[in-house]
Amino acid sequence: MFRSFPIHTLNQPTELSGMWTFQAEGREPIQVYVPSAWETYPGYESYRGKAVYSRDVLCTEETRFVFEGVSHTADVYLDDQLLAHHYNAFTAFEAIATGLEPGIHRLSVHVSNEFNEESALHTENDYYSFGGITRPCFMEELDSLYVQSLHLTPVREDDAWALDIEAVIRNVSEEPQTFYLEAEADFLEETTRISEPQELAAGTSVTICRKVAAAGAETYSPDHPKLYEVAVYICDPNPDEIPEDADAESYSSIYDDRVERVGCRTIEVKGSKILYNGKELQIRGFNRHEYHPAFGCAIPPQIMDTDLNLFLDLGANAVRTSHYPQDPLFLDLCDEKGIMVWEENHARGFREDKMRNPHFEDQCEDVIREMVRDDYNHPSIIIWGLLNECASETEYGRGCYEKQFALLKSLDHSRPTSFASCKHFNDICLDLPDIVSYNIYPGWYDFQGSETAEVQLQKLLDWVQTTPGAGKPFLITEIGAGGVYGYRNPNMDKWTEDNQAETLAKQIPAVLNNPAVSGIFVWQFCDVRVTRSWAMMRPRQMNNKGIVDEYRRPKLAYYTVKKLYHELAK
Ligand code: ADA
């Protein structure tokens, strides 16, 4: 299962989950299950290098393959033909083959998880970059025209909902094709034509925009996560004229269809508040990395569900997808369970020298484009974030923030934007986002001597009011402490569960009781593996600030946060 709802009403895609041949450079081939991280295969636990995944697939003349995540660089071949090249583990990409001889072909994916100059974003870091086809992949038969993307934007007009539909249609054939579009949804009385017939030249795409009334649609909220499926059909305007080369019996007057889900809600920034459906929002969340010792970053649906059930038990209402776009199925589950999402592009903790990598800008911008393209419709996503803890204190860094915020806004102006800063009193980018956000660790990594969490936070808030960030909503995007599961002592020593729980017991009220703060994301939900160069700062070569360990076993801090999140909920 790669999504929690069917993405087509007509021809369902064929999932490519299952056994593939895997061969790492210089090693014997083995059979492995896809999706998976290769670090979970015996003998590959710390393998950093190249490998090829391959299997046979049954193709029609025009076949589209979709990979939701390959970590971190992929070259996709069908037989000997290169179909696609993609960098970044955390966004999807397609590979299209046209003019094929129908029948069995060999699909191969050349994968690398190497750290080198070509890879500006997957580097040694405080989380692990795995290798492999780590998210689901599928294939579908194409018929000249297909829906490349479908964005649905609910808008509130005169006390009723309307829906802006924006569909990108692509012609992969070598002939011009004529089509019109229809839309179908529960809140539409009947199937509605949303474009007039038009011709699309061979090999080109077109964007079609249309607003439809959705008067009967109920409002979505975390307490009432009402979702609607919206289908768009690419129709043949001359269905009676069956093309000469078509098989009359199987000829369909619909080229393609696509289903997306929508939830009708508003999210906006007004002065120093974040308003959700017009009401002031308090965020009580966790940062979550995709990690489990048995699966690496290839988290199965059951564990996604477990994680979100723990969030609900904890009284949390939000997740920050630190530090990259997460699996689309996880976002579907957030939509369904009413958990709000801060989704961010992939970039963690790069100082200026790393931001000057010649690939940095392009790679960040690709992630932003792909993230918005694919995750736009999730009502759970309420904030877009970017460039966590990068060089927002330098002029060069500022240039990157500026460009990336401009790009993000050009792709979506329906959601507020932010970035998580750790530059305390030196940040020079606070004019750029809609929301000012800081990562602080009072009592763990103090930035103001041994002052209390209240005082450290207040000093920061006071300083922000002297900058262009004044008057904007303010979030704490990280706060927390390390605690190794099972390590207990009464001395309150660092890395004990006791110390972690006590530190969070001071931090959380300091944040949630401060009326100038719109919310908090605790760092972090579960312990995660980190790369070797971080090991000296990270016992067990793990980031141990999870309130559950990597197996989701609760630490003392779990109960502390749970109590506070329930008590301080507004
Ligand atoms: C930073 C960073 C996180 C993590 C955390 C920590 O704020 O954004 O990725 O490294 O610190 O555990 O120190």
Task: List, for residues 128-147, the tens digit of each pLDDT value.
Answer: 999 999 999 999 999 999 99
How far, in Å, is the centroid of ligand 1 from the Cα of 112?
Answer: 26
CA 181 to CA 166: how far, in whole Å? 11
pLDDT value at position 243?
Answer: 63
pLDDT grade, residue 481 (50/70/90)?
very high
Mean pLDDT in residue range 328-339: 98
**What CA–CA distances, in Å, run from 70 to 5, 102, 130, 137?**
22, 26, 9, 9
Give the mutation target among 124, 543, 544, 545 for probing the ligand 1 site: most ligand atoms within 8 A of CB.
Answer: 543
pLDDT value at position 11?
Answer: 83
CA 396 to CA 403: how far, in whole Å? 11
pLDDT value at position 537?
Answer: 95
- Ligand 1 nearest-atom number relative to CA 439: 7
pLDDT value at position 251?
Answer: 59
Query: b/e for 155-185, b at 16 or more Cβ within 10 A?
Result: eeeeeebbbebebebbbbbeeebebbbbbbb
Which tens digit of pLDDT belongs to each residue from 429-462?
Answer: 999 999 999 999 999 998 777 899 999 999 999 9
Q: Identify which has the larger pLDDT, 239 or 389.
A: 389
**Contacts (Cβ under 8 Å, ≥6 apart) of 333:** 4, 301, 304, 305, 308, 339
> In this predicted structure, which of 241-255, 356-370, 371-385, 396-410 has the lowest mean pLDDT?
241-255
- Ligand 1 nearest-atom number relative to CA 445: 13
pTM: 0.97
Q: Could you tell me if the CB of 287 is within 6 A of ligand 1?
A: no
Q: Could you tell me if the CB of 439 is within 6 A of ligand 1?
A: yes
How far, in Å, is the centroid of ligand 1 from the Cα of 452?
Answer: 20
CA 401 to CA 433: how far, in whole Å? 9
pLDDT value at position 238?
Answer: 83
Query: For residues 472 and 436, is the Cβ–Cβ distance under 8 A?
Result: yes
How far, in Å, is the centroid of ligand 1 from the Cα of 319?
Answer: 15
pLDDT grade, residue 339 (50/70/90)?
very high
Which tens digit of pLDDT belongs to each residue from 177-203?
Answer: 999 999 999 998 889 999 999 999 999
CA 435 to CA 518: how far, in whole Å? 10
pLDDT value at position 241?
Answer: 66
DSSP label of 507: H
Give percent of the chain above pLDDT 70: 98
Which tens digit of pLDDT belongs to each residue from 239-254?
Answer: 766 666 666 565 568 9
Q: Could you tell me if the CB of 523 is within 6 A of ligand 1?
A: yes
Q: What are the start-end ranges of the E strands in 158-238?
A: 160-171, 177-185, 192-193, 198-200, 205-213, 228-235
- Ligand 1 nearest-atom number relative to CA 322: 9
Query: For residues 41 and 32, is the Cβ–Cβ distance under 8 A?
Result: yes
Give percent of the chain above pLDDT 90: 94
Give the mutation target among 423, 439, 528 for probing the ligand 1 site: most ligand atoms within 8 A of CB.
Answer: 439
Q: Could you tell me if the CB of 557 is within 6 A of ligand 1?
A: no
Q: Could you tell me if the CB of 543 is within 6 A of ligand 1?
A: yes
CA angle 279, 282, 285 (to 5 degrees): 140
Tokens of 138: 């599928």
pLDDT value at position 554?
Answer: 98
Q: Could you tell me if the CB of 393 is within 6 A of ligand 1?
A: no
Arithmetic mean of pLDDT over the chain: 96
Please determine, for residue 313, whether its predicted confidence score (pLDDT) is greater than 90.
yes
Residue nearest to atom 9 of ligand 1 (CA): 126
| C-alpha closest to that of 320 among 290, 286, 291 | 286
Residue nearest to atom 7 of ligand 1 (CA): 439
How far, in Å, is the centroid of ligand 1 from the Cα of 541?
Answer: 14
Which tens digit of pLDDT belongs to each residue from 276-303?
Answer: 999 999 999 999 999 999 999 999 999 9
- Ligand 1 nearest-atom number relative to CA 545: 12
Please determine, for residue 42, whether its predicted confidence score (pLDDT) is greater than 90.
yes
pLDDT value at position 248?
Answer: 59
Which tens digit of pLDDT belongs to each residue from 1-33?
Answer: 799 999 999 888 999 999 999 999 999 999 999
pLDDT value at position 249?
Answer: 60
Mean pLDDT in residue range 495-502: 98
Mean pLDDT in residue range 499-511: 98
Write the single-letter amino acid at 75: D
Q: Could you tell me if the CB of 72 is within 6 A of ligand 1?
A: no
Regarding beta strands 198-200 and 177-185, do their DSSP bridges make them parallel or antiparallel, or are they unpaired?
antiparallel
Kindly calculate the radius of gyration of the chain based on its CA atoms and give it in whole angstroms: 24
Query: b/e for 530-565, b at 16 or more Cβ within 10 A?
Result: bbeebeeebeeebbbbbbbbbebebbbbbebbbebb
The number of helix segments (H) and strand segments (E) in the chain equals 8, 33
Tokens of 38: 């290769």
How far, in Å, is the centroid of ligand 1 from the Cα of 546?
Answer: 11
Q: Could you tell me if the CB of 284 is within 6 A of ligand 1?
A: no
Regarding beta strands 30-34 and 18-24, do their DSSP bridges make them parallel or antiparallel, or are they unpaired?
antiparallel
How far, in Å, is the centroid of ligand 1 from the Cα of 530?
Answer: 11
**Greatest extent of the chain over all pairs of C-alpha atoms, in Å:** 83
Mark out the alpha helices in 316-416 (DSSP H runs). 328-337, 352-355, 360-375, 395-411
Please determine, for residue 333, whether its predicted confidence score (pLDDT) is greater than 90.
yes
Q: Could you tell me if the CB of 555 is within 6 A of ligand 1?
A: no
CA 477 to CA 521: how far, in whole Å? 5
CA 360 to CA 24: how far, in whole Å? 27
Tokens of 172: 């992969």
Query: For residues 499 and 481, is the Cβ–Cβ distance under 8 A?
Result: yes
Q: Could you tell me if the CB of 324 is within 6 A of ligand 1?
A: no
Q: Could you tell me if the CB of 388 is within 6 A of ligand 1?
A: yes
How far, in Å, is the centroid of ligand 1 from the Cα of 65?
Answer: 36
pLDDT value at position 449?
Answer: 75
Residue nearest to atom 4 of ligand 1 (CA): 126
Task: Identify the bridge partners of residue 521 per DSSP, sorted by sequence position.
Answer: 285
Q: Could you tell me if the CB of 527 is within 6 A of ligand 1?
A: no
